[in-house]
Structure 1
Amino acid sequence: MAGGPAPAGPVLVTGGAGFIGANLADRLAGDGHDVIVYDALARPGVARNLGWLTRRHPQRITAIVADIRDRDRLGEAARDAAAVFHFAAQVAVTTSLDAPREDFEVNLLGTLNLLEALRARAVPPPLLFASTNKVYGDLADVALTVEDDAHLPADPGLRATGIGEARPLDFHTPYGCSKGAADQYVLDYARSFGIPAAVMRMSCIYGPRQRGSEDQGWVAHFLIRALEGEPVTLYGDGRQVRDVLHVADAVAAYLAAWRRIDAAAGRAFNLGGGPGNAVSLRRVLAWIGHLLGRPVETRFADWRAGDQRYYVSDTRRATAALGLAAPMPWQDGVADLARWLAAERGPDAAIGAAPAPTGAAS
């Protein structure tokens, strides 16, 4: 069956009403899979995503509104799952600094609850875990230079490839610690207990159904502020560089990891747009202004804890092991998200057809 192996049961997507989870659940249901969407509906906007999913796939989507910390409900949801995609998380660095215990309980204890539920099964199903590039810390040892309004590695080799999975782990902030520890637990449960699990260390994913805020989902946040005619605050100098990846490409990578779980199990993969989709925050804002036909008002504030001046994924391992296609150019993807957000806001926010791509950022 398209999208993954033929299931003997439903596919469980924790955090399935969130941005990436909802896009994945939609793809799975469209491919003919029964899907359990397990979500606490704690984040603003995710209830709308769930409503959208159930309207599109009324015969395929089953919703369980529950917290990842509820071991009994989670165990029940995972009991017959043919595969599990684990997105449920506390996702903001800033929130982790304000409420580190809750961050720990959701991200690490919640993941352990899921791992134990799968370990209890006679034949554990595949598990694909959404990790983060924050496991590599702030990368302060990487020598950088400023070129074209962007922080870029002084080492041309690193600039050409990005950060690879061999980079030492270095957890910063409670969020980095909780997600990093969960990342390691997933890999160890694959090693110690034979759970066929793989880890996807994601860079900046963006696209439709993302309801970004100042704390998380910055591409959508920039667009939302610009569409509303409000200023965007850049923390630091705005020359931070990220490799952005459209959610359709992220979903394709997760499904590829499921299809190839025998090769992916026990491994971590950096998942992002790679050097070809590396772009500074300032350049994204300039492109948004180009799309809207007016400049975006920008303000500046102090750097935030744990912020990486440069992070770009070395995607060669994922591309080779999972057979991934070239990702969507970031200019096309940002235009796609702009159209979706404008449509969500009605005709007063509509934008015209996107200009032709201008090429990837250097």
Structure 2
Amino acid sequence: MTQTYFITGGAGFIGSNFVAHLLEKNQNVVIFDNLSRNGSKMNLSWLREQYGQDAFRLIEGDVRDSDALDKAMEKMDVVAHFAGQVAVTTSVMNPKEDFEVNALGTLNVLEAVRKSKNHPIVLYTSTNKVYGGMENVRVIERENDYAYLDFPQGISENQLLDFHSPYGCSKGTGDQYVRDYHRIYGIPTIVFRQSAIYGPHQFGIEDQGWVSWFIIAVLTGKPITIYGNGKQVRDLLYIEDLVRAYSAAIDHPEVSAGKIYNIGGGPENCISIWKDFGPILESLCGHPIEVAYGDWRPGDQAIYISDIRKIKQELGWTPTISAKEGITRLYSWASANRNLFG
């Protein structure tokens, strides 16, 4: 069945990959994006080259503009809200703008949906940062990484919320508003609390998108700084697997509406950010990589691994692309498109 999808941040990394997935399925797509993100215009060019100049409709707009959202939201079947300020460090430097984009922007999207005629499904990308530092979770330090003492399957949706950093607060505010608009207004909303997502068309920077950033830095000769000791652990999820999870949730609102899902690679796809990742990257590029070390950054977790059993059980989804395979794919894409990174 053909539906109309409204994608905020549709020119970004996750957004453009989801748009490509939808266009492959011959869905109608409206992209709402202010094109401020590095790489967004290149992602639009890729989508047009791949699927045609008129494959989607572009509205150049900002989620802080409630009037623009109200006008654009009519007759949408699905709203995927990806637009946002994405870096913890940026939120610390400019907390007001971070709040306006992430918290107020999300409320604007929800209000536009509430006032629309269709009451579309709303998919929201939240973050594991809503769980904060998880000081009550016991962690052990090992030779090359950290591990949970009591949570071998990772952190579930039952973990207490504890917003750390302005970014955690703003994304957590959006997270709770999205959930509550299902409870109060009956809108079929879905929240994905995401771990480390990576893949092609990601223009990572030092403050955000570390897998992509390390690869780009190596290919372009830029210096790499590891903040902390490099043993920090994340569960990696390749973009193709994430997009499949979105579709599974959207296709089954009778199951997913009003739900929150922790989404990541899970225990089978966790990796320390340099002690494990560094040797893989050195193998791919064929030479040793020198790095500098700096202090831990605000809000950084020693370890975060998603417990993905809920989405597996309810929607039958599971990751299919291993961390090593995904990193190799991303390195191949970045190598072939080195000219995009300046």
Task: Work out whether the TM-score is over 0.5.
Answer: yes
Unpaired segments ≥5 residues, structure 2: none
* Partner SS, residue 293 of structure 2: strand
Map of 1:230 onto structure 2: 222
Report the TM-score when normalising by structure 2: 0.96
Separation of aligned partners in 2, 1:50 and 1:147: 43
Query: What is the Cα deviation at residue 197 of structure 1?
Result: 0.4
**Identical positions, percent:** 46
2:84 pairs with 81, 89, 92, which one?
89
Tell me the CA shift for residue 243 of structure 1.
0.2
Aligned equivalents of 1:151, 1:140: Cα separation in 2:
14
Aligned 8 A contact 1:245 1:327 in 2: no
* Deviations 1:85-144, CA, capped at 9 Å, x for gaps: 000000000110111111001001111111011111233010000000000001222222
Give the superposition deviation at 1:329: 0.4
CA positional deviation for 1:297: 1.1
Deviation at 1:39, TM superposition (A): 0.6
Deviations 1:34-70 (A, max 9, x none): 1111111111111110121122223321111111111
Equivalence for 2:10: 16
Match of 2:176 among 179, 184, 190: 184
Asked whether the equivalents of residues 75 and 118 of structure 2 are also in contact (C-alpha less than 8 Å), the reply is no
SS at match of 1:85: strand
CA contact (8 A) 2:219 2:335 kept: yes
* AA in 2 matched with 1:296: I
Give the conservation status (yes or no) of the 8 Å contact 1:212–1:220: yes
Q: CA deviation at 1:154?
A: 2.5
1:70 and 1:54 map into 2 onto residues whose CA distance is 26
Query: What do residues 234-276 of structure 1 show as CA deviations (whole Å, max 9, x unaligned)?
Result: 1011100000000000111111110011210111000000000
2:335 equivalent in structure 1: 342
TM-score normalised to structure 1 length:
0.91
The equivalent residue for 1:139 is 134
Displacement, 1:333? 0.1
> Is this contact kept in 1: 2:220–2:338, CA < 8 A?
no
2:302 matched residue in structure 1:
309
Distance 2:26 2:299 in 1: 41
State the partner residue of 1:351.
Answer: none
- Name the count of aligned residue pairs: 339
Matches within 5 A, 1:1-362: 1=1, 6-7=2-3, 10-57=4-51, 58-155=53-150, 158=151, 160-282=152-274, 283-345=276-338
Q: Which runs of 5+ in 1 are unaligned?
A: 347-362
Query: Aligned partners of 2:242, 2:337: CA distance in 1, in Å?
Result: 22
CA displacement 1:321-350 (0-9 Å, x = unmatched): 12113331000000000011011116xxxx
Note the aligned Cα RMSD (angstroms): 1.5
For each residue in 1:272-325, what CA deviation from the matched residue of structure 2 results, as whole angstroms up to 9, or x when unmatched?
A: 000000110121121111111112211100000000000000000011112113
Post-superposition shift, 1:148? 4.0
2 CA distance for matches of 1:175 and 1:327?
A: 30
Secondary structure class of the residue paired with 1:209: coil
Task: Find the residue that maps to 1:161 and give its secondary structure.
Answer: coil
What is the one-letter code of the residue matched to 1:326?
A: P
Q: Per-residue deviation at 1:231?
A: 3.1
Amino acid in structure 2 at the alignment position of 1:53 = L
* 1:350 alignment counterpart: none
Which segment is superposed worse, 202-211 or 314-323?
314-323
| Conservation of the 8 A alpha-carbon contact between 2:237 and 2:319 | no
